[in-house]
Structure 1
């Protein structure tokens, strides 16, 4: 049985202009802690990043912050987390965030959040991983991106067999249940692959 133990959350180092996004980050941090699911995030102490980390910590949850050296001062690193990893560069940061996480969630954010989300979608599309990816379309923030993905499919750039696998939740309280619901499907796919593999190649 697969259970989501850690979730990597991509989100803005800014709080944005809508208070509900900050409130959503804080609420999700509490939900992670209450569910016993660890948070993996970018290590900052400002914006939505800082809000979700501090909320998780305040609710008794476990937080792993992963931040490159050049952003330590710029993003005001949060030093109170249980595990803090300072990497040499962005490539190492993203690799470690991937390795430490069972699933990925994109809360509202800027181009950095978008880039991290799209990278995971690309890797999943190419079959490099099957971890759940969820777009938290809170207050319609990611609706333009979801529409663009649909447009790409209509235009023939997302071909059958090369689908972009992602989940969508429009409420914070639906995020973890959606990830957990995806986990049995992942286990079933893994079991099917093992059963189909020739003896000696497992």
Structure 2
């Protein structure tokens, strides 16, 4: 695994544990020589994890739309910063550059990014691991809701397995490395999916 995309808040949240988890994950990525791909901001958890990776000699690639460059304060100290035209291009490029996806605590943007890559995986557009870093129970309600969709017949149980979760970033990365692509049946055959990549 060469790179991991981390989705997280442009805010720091109310608990110090969120920033602590971002720093711990950043250190772990740098120590394992796994590059960080993220939204390119210099604020909130986004800035925290990027700074931590850089401070420990790691590589960081940011991707940010022109319209958010000032609002999220584009990080000027990264290994590289891609400035793109819109959110669609941002998410597509982040996915292309990454070998896996982790959602840390965040707001609506983080949720939207998480569920988009989940949907892409479910449809067979990619075969990369996806995980929630469930800091201080932040994602307990979401995990419960996703399990509810399985019980109600709107999500296959095997597709639920596409979304890992852990309270520890190092363990989540270890599980990513054990991920076996193609072991879960997708909604589209591989040939069809290969023609529909975003």
Q: TM-score, normalised by structure 1?
A: 0.88
Cα deviation, residue 172, structure 1:
2.3
**Length, aligned pairs only:** 186
Which stretch shows the higher mean deviation, 99-108 or 164-173?
164-173
- Partner of 1:178 in structure 2? 175
CA distance in 2, matches of 1:143, 1:119: 19
Q: Output aligned runs, 1:9-28, within 5 Å.
A: 9-28=6-25
- Partner of 1:61 in structure 2? 58
Cα deviation, residue 173, structure 1:
2.3
Q: Output aligned runs, 1:41-190, within 5 Å.
A: 41-159=38-156, 163=160, 165-182=162-179, 185-186=180-181
Cα deviation, residue 186, structure 1:
1.7
Cα deviation, residue 163, structure 1:
4.5
CA distance in 2, matches of 1:113, 1:159: 23
CA distance in 2, matches of 1:53, 1:62: 9
SS of residue paired to 2:127? coil
CA distance in 2, matches of 1:7, 1:39: 5
Which stretch shows the higher mean deviation, 132-141 or 47-56?
132-141
Mapped contact 1:45–1:75 kept (Cα < 8 A): yes
Cα deviation, residue 174, structure 1:
1.0
Cα deviation, residue 124, structure 1:
0.7
CA distance in 1, matches of 2:118, 2:182: 19
CA distance in 1, matches of 2:52, 2:159: 37
After superposition, give the CA deviation of every residue in 1:143-197 in whole Å (9 maximum; x if it has no partner): 1111001000101111366556111111122121111111xx12778xxxxxxx9
Cα deviation, residue 126, structure 1:
1.0
Q: Structure 1 residues 76 and 48, CA, compared in 2 at 3 Å: closer, same or farther?
A: same
Q: TM-score, normalised by structure 2?
A: 0.89
- Partner of 2:188 in structure 1? none
After superposition, give the CA deviation of every residue in 1:7-40 in whole Å (9 maximum; x if it has no partner): 0000000000000000110111111000000000
CA distance in 2, matches of 1:151, 1:160: 11
Cα RMSD between the aligned structures? 1.8
CA distance in 2, matches of 1:59, 1:159: 41
CA distance in 1, matches of 2:140, 2:123: 24
